[in-house]
Amino acid sequence: MGFLLPSESFDADRPMRPAVEQARMADSHPDRVLVPTLGRPREDEALAYALETFPDADIVLLTVITPLDAPLSEGGILERSEDRRAQARASATDLLESVADAASDRVRIETAEGRPGTVVPQYAAEARIDHVVMYGSRTGSTGFLRRFLCRDIAATVVDRTAQPVTVLD
């Protein structure tokens, strides 16, 4: 439900929409789209979706490196931070090359270390991102726990991010 300012008059014919919904409706053509990658399968689909859906937007491919003290480490392998950053950057570059040869001029690769549920919303706010696109589950992987945890990351990002978030499943 919207709120009226003292200078506004009530119009019964005008639908009331929350300010957040109005802002999201106005943002149908974002300038900057964030595609976070967490080392999961099918993340190329999120990048392809962002490139196709937002053809005029600049895309930031953010590779999030889970810290060594986090309960889940990428692939369960704990390497030195420098090696992990280099691997993450190489993976992001490979992902970009596999999906977007023609659009690579509008995609920038960034890396960040931290918990995805914290890093992605923080990066989106600080980098003035207009929209976030991410893959939400590991449909192709086995095990309830993995699916639950991956959905939990997407749900956390949605809850903590002020910008619209598209979660692909």
> For the domain that residue 141 is a member of, what is the CATH number?
3.40.50.620
**Would you say residue 3 lies in a domain?**
no
**Would you say residue 156 lies in a domain?**
yes
**Would you say residue 44 lies in a domain?**
yes
**Would you say residue 1 lies in a domain?**
no
Range of the domain at 38: 31-168
**Would you say residue 112 lies in a domain?**
yes
Q: Which residues contact 105 (CB under 8 A, 6 or more apart)?
A: none
Strand 32-37, strand 131-135: pairing: parallel
Taking only the tens of pLDDT, the chain with its 169 residues reads: 333 333 333 333 434 333 333 344 345 689 999 999 888 778 888 988 999 999 999 999 999 988 765 444 455 445 566 777 777 777 777 777 776 565 678 888 898 989 999 999 999 999 999 999 998 764 444 555 554 555 578 889 999 999 999 999 8
CA angle 54, 93, 161 (to 5 degrees): 50
**Would you say residue 18 lies in a domain?**
no
Q: How many residues does the chain have?
A: 169
Residue 151's pLDDT is what?
Answer: 53
Q: How many domains does the chain have?
A: 1
**Would you say residue 20 lies in a domain?**
no
How far apart, in Å, are the Cα atoms of 117 and each of 22, 55, 120, 153, 166? 25, 27, 6, 6, 15
**Would you say residue 23 lies in a domain?**
no
